[in-house]
A and B are shown apart, each in its own frame.
Chain A
């Protein structure tokens, strides 16, 4: 499976048509919710059976984004990575995607440890119902994104509450993102985006 996330920044007047156009291309698409950080205005997520299906579909996706007069698109193509589905068919939940770039000097040496700790988050934070952590195959936008960390929650409260407040997040995982911590490996420029697609995308 090949997956594509596009976080598109576009004028408000263009967003409705852009969302419809991306849905017409078999993507899940929705306005990005308030509280995002560099998360774009419209989030879209596509799943392809294989790389050739992705290559065939990509020009139309790019054309739809260009037609909206997009000022920015942060995107990443990624495979299955590591994932789990605790709530299959979660259609009315909230999807959250994080694009990150592990580009600090010690990143390569520490990536396995970082990834192993990341995928423990759902164990300690059960509000994360479905999730995937994957390395980017290709990416673009502000930075060459190296990883995609996406989750589905039953509602926005799961993201804003337990995910942000649990100490496994701020007292364990965040040190990889924190320039004040010696373990810092992730560029502080992130894309933190979330949307209600009205359809299950992770399970």
Chain B
């Protein structure tokens, strides 16, 4: 199974802290994620301006190949204390967040009939 799986961090930054959060994410999270086999797809900042009084939303999308790639990154991060420590360190910069796992619509049938 070699479908592209998307790992999407949907993070609402604390008001005025989106730049700090993105910088922390890039320096403290992304290198290890790359080492776990995740490929950075894109970083979207919404709205496309830095807000001081309000929150920016960061949509950071990674890809892995197939469920095997998904489990590969998951098992590595789960038992790496640095990953949990990163999210704890980032918490003051975050108002709320979610993480989603998905695929292109064209891959849904193949992925869900295993």
A residues near B, CB below 8 A? 124, 161-162, 164-168, 170-171, 174-175, 177-182, 188
Counting chain B residues whose Cβ lies within 8 A of the other chain, the interface size class is 20 to 34
B74–A161 CB distance below 8 A: no
B26 at the interface (CB under 8 A from A): no
CB < 8 Å: which of A171, A177, A179, A188 contacts B101?
Answer: A171
What would be 11 A-B contacts, judged by CB atoms less than 8 Å apart? A164-B67, A165-B67, A166-B112, A170-B67, A170-B74, A171-B70, A178-B74, A178-B78, A179-B78, A182-B99, A188-B78
**Minimum C-beta distance from B32 to chain A (A):** 11
Report the bound CA distance from A88 to B16 in whole Å: 59
> In whole Å, how far is B90's beta carbon from the nearest beta carbon of chain A?
11
Q: How distant is B9 from chain A, measured CB to nearest CB, in Å?
A: 9
Report the bound CA distance from A137 to B22 in whole Å: 45
- Check A188–B114 contact: CB distance below 8 A: no
Residues on the B chain within 8 Å of A188, using CB: 78-79
Chain B, 59-111, CB within 8 A of any chain A CB: 67, 70-71, 74, 77-79, 83-84, 87, 96-99, 101-103, 111
Q: Chain A nearest CB: distance from B12 CB in Å?
A: 11
With A164-B71, A166-B114, A170-B71 in contact, is A180–B83 under 8 Å at CB?
A: yes
- The interface residues of chain A lying within 8 Å CB-to-CB of B103 are 167
Q: Across the two chains, which residue of chain B brings its CB closest to A166?
A: B114
